Amino acid sequence: MNYILQPNSKSASLPLATELLTSAAFSGYESPAHSDKNFKGTTTVGITFKDGVVLAADKRATMGSFIAAKDVDKIHVVGDRMGITMAGGVGDAQVLVRLLRAEIELYKYAKGKPMSVQAASTLLSNVLQGSKYYPFLVQLIVAGYDETGPALFDLDPFGGLIPEKYVSTGSGSVTAYGLLDENYRDNLNREETVQLAVRAVNSAMRRDSATGEGVDCVVITADGIKRLTRDEVNGIIKPMQKAK
């Protein structure tokens, strides 16, 4: 598959190194089986706590009422301590993931330090705003840990950028917000935040047909990024199921 930006594409004017975007280092950020199809449907969640940020998402992609894929990666690592979740059109979201990862790498080599979470979010916001007449059909969460501490930003398809303490996106977000609004507090610890994020996505799976196939969860702190194993996630979900 050819990942080179074409001259007439909506991203062609961006100051990116095409060599980086087309290299093997970045090709893993698009699944060839999914990239040419308009897959949608998801629930993603981001929650901050004192020492970091937790991201969670389901694994299902849909085309209308059809379940088109059951193992979609909706949480992507774009920096040493930064991640992004995607909701909306998979193709549009994956282009933006590759773009942001390339820009973060270029910044690190040029400046000798990592890009801040706010700077990365603002960069994406400018890209989305510049494409508002031919928009990327996505809603994104950018989160990470930098010199200012944990940071979490919500981006809409037209470049709206809002810092949040917790946020949910996608078709199941209405259900997830019911749990988040009821249970979030400023003094949550890491374990409590992970449990809340997993519970929020899991609750959406019960009511939203476009959300399903399990929960993926990532924790970002000053020490780096940790993706929970399936057993760790199931260890959070199973007690909830027994309590019904």
> Could you give phi then psi for residue 218, rounded to 5 degrees?
-130, 135
Residue 153's Cα: distance from chain center in Å?
10
- Residues near 62 by Cβ (< 8 Å), separated by ≥ 6? 39, 40, 41, 68, 209, 210
Q: Strand pairing of 82-88 and 138-146? A: antiparallel
- Asked whether 63 and 38 are in contact (CB, 8 A), the reply is yes
Beta strands in 28-165 (DSSP E): 43-49, 52-58, 61-63, 66-69, 75-79, 82-88, 138-146, 149-155, 161-163
Is 229 a known active-site residue? no
Annotated catalytic residue, options 18, 42, 169, 211: 42
Which pair of tokens denotes residue 70?
Answer: 């059951």
- Asked whether 189 and 200 are in contact (CB, 8 A), the reply is no
Q: Which of 183, 181, 204, 205 is nearest to 194 (CA)?
A: 183
Residues noted as catalytic: 42
